[in-house]
Amino acid sequence: MSVAARYINRELAGVFLVTLAMLLLVAVGGRFIGYLQEAAMGKFTGSTVLTIMYLRLPEFVQMVAPFAAYVAVVLTLGRLHADQEMVVLQGAGASTGRILRWLSITLVPIAMLVAFFSWYLTPLSERVLTEFLAEQRAESEFETVSPGTFHIYDSGRRVTYSEAMSEDRRTLLDVFISQRLDDGRQVTVWAQRGRQYVDPQSGSHYLILTKGRRYEGTPGDAHFRIIEFDELRQRLEVSHRRADDRFDVQAQATLSLDDTVEATAEWHWRLAMPLFCLVGGLLALSVSRVKPRQGRFARVVPGMLVMLFYYLSLLINRNAIAQEQIPAMLGLWGVHLAFLLAALVGLSRLAKPVRF
């Protein structure tokens, strides 16, 4: 590797890492606030937020890495043009093709990293996250309850409300529970207290209610059974099924994707991510040249608009494939080809003198 290639790639790698960290901070920070709000609403416990963010991290890296690489190329080459260093390199025989080969030393490993995340690590983390959230809902249902808020479980079959909660978040105070049975009957329970109990031998989950009243009957029918109790123990049905068919296509392994339209769209999307990174690098090189008095940041905003349009075009076509609006065999190749041609046109203009 020549001295110029090492010089460019060293700066390119440094700018990429800084840009990646900044974009991840924005993406992760915004989603972290959203999860904190959901935890406050009682969807899951606050202690699980960091675990959820850890499992979502591969998806964030996969999404922002192509943009970070794009910005890194634009900033690195923009500085070379602004400081007249690129003129010196071109005068020494550094053609557009040679500069592209130099950049590939950094861009190709980044694209390979995105491919690893897209094809393997992100689906794996999505599966682990799906199972983790299911276990949290099954095992810590009452830990997520916020006083004064209605909570819906079991696809709307059971609704829980409590006026207050003990400090250890293990006992509900002034409890209301409404549950719809399989035969259509409705069960409504009012109790002063409620707590969850797990049998250490069988692992079964029980709800223990104290000092309350239970109403059971069919809505519209006057024949209701009313029971007053000092203690009522009710078994909670907890499902621990982990079959792959309960996962969304985003959580399925790449080699396990079937021939449904949703799976086909997901397969094209995973393949598109590393290509998005590589074509984005060509686009960045094609728009990186700035005039001497403009500065290295002059092309960042226009260039990011191009990348955002590229990303949105991929997303729109992915949804169109999933909804069978375009043939699945076409995939996302038309979008890649259009932006590749735009990049090649831009690269062909780099050999021409810049107009002031």
Q: What is the DSSP code string of 34-67? A: HHHHHHHTTSS-GGGHHHHHHHHHHHHHHHHHHH
- Looking at the fold, whether 249 and 333 belong to one and the same domain comes out as yes
One DSSP character per residue, 330-356 reads GTTHHHHHHHHHHHHHHHHHHTSPPP-
- Looking at the fold, whether 78 and 168 belong to one and the same domain comes out as no
> What local confidence, expressed as pLDDT, does residue 146 receive?
62
Bridge partners (DSSP) listed for residue 107 = none
Q: What are phi and psi of 198, to 5 degrees?
A: -115, 120
Domain membership flag for residue 340: yes
- Looking at the fold, whether 222 and 272 belong to one and the same domain comes out as no
Domain-terminating residue out of 236, 258, 284:
236
Domain-terminating residue out of 236, 255, 283:
236
Domain membership flag for residue 355: no
- Paired tokens of 30: 């915004």
- Looking at the fold, whether 26 and 125 belong to one and the same domain comes out as yes
C-alpha–C-alpha distance, residues 233 and 213, integer Å: 13
- Looking at the fold, whether 119 and 222 belong to one and the same domain comes out as no
- Paired tokens of 137: 């809902």
Residue burial 42-81, b: 16+ Cβ < 10 Å; e: rest = bbbeeebeeebeebbbbbbbbbbbbbbbbbbbbbbbbbbb
- Looking at the fold, whether 38 and 99 belong to one and the same domain comes out as yes
Residue 3 buriedness (CB in 10 A; 0-12 / 13-18 / 19+)? exposed
> What local confidence, expressed as pLDDT, does residue 114 receive?
95
- Looking at the fold, whether 13 and 126 belong to one and the same domain comes out as yes
Residue holding tokens 């950094």?
106
- Looking at the fold, whether 280 and 344 belong to one and the same domain comes out as yes
Domain membership flag for residue 356: no
- Looking at the fold, whether 270 and 226 belong to one and the same domain comes out as no
Residue holding tokens 């239970």?
214
Q: What are phi and psi of 141, to 5 degrees?
A: -60, -50
- Looking at the fold, whether 260 and 343 belong to one and the same domain comes out as yes
Bridge partners (DSSP) listed for residue 226 = 215
Instruction: List Cβ neighbours of 125 (8 Å cut-off, separation of 6 or more).
Output: 55, 56, 57, 58, 59
Number of domains in the chain: 2
Domain-terminating residue out of 210, 236, 262:
236
- Looking at the fold, whether 81 and 178 belong to one and the same domain comes out as no
- Looking at the fold, whether 312 and 289 belong to one and the same domain comes out as yes
Q: Which of 48, 51, 49, 58 lies closest to 27 in space, CA to CA?
A: 58
Domain membership flag for residue 293: yes
Cα-based distances in Å from 132 to 34, 65, 338:
18, 26, 41
Cα-based distances in Å from 115 to 61, 63, 134, 274:
11, 11, 28, 5
- What is the crossing angle of helices 96-116 and 49-82, to 10°? 180
Domain membership flag for residue 130: yes
pTM over cut 0.75: no
pLDDT by 10s per residue, the chain, length 356:
578 788 888 999 999 999 999 999 998 888 888 887 777 665 666 678 888 888 899 999 999 999 999 999 998 888 877 777 776 777 777 777 888 888 899 999 999 999 999 999 999 999 998 888 777 665 555 555 567 777 776 667 778 888 887 776 678 788 888 888 888 788 888 888 888 777 777 766 677 888 899 888 887 777 788 888 888 887 665 544 444 444 578 888 888 888 888 889 999 999 999 999 999 999 998 888 776 666 666 777 887 888 999 999 999 999 999 888 888 888 899 999 999 999 998 888 776 655 54
Domain of residue 134: give its range: 3-138+245-350
CA atoms within 13 A on the CB side of 321: 25
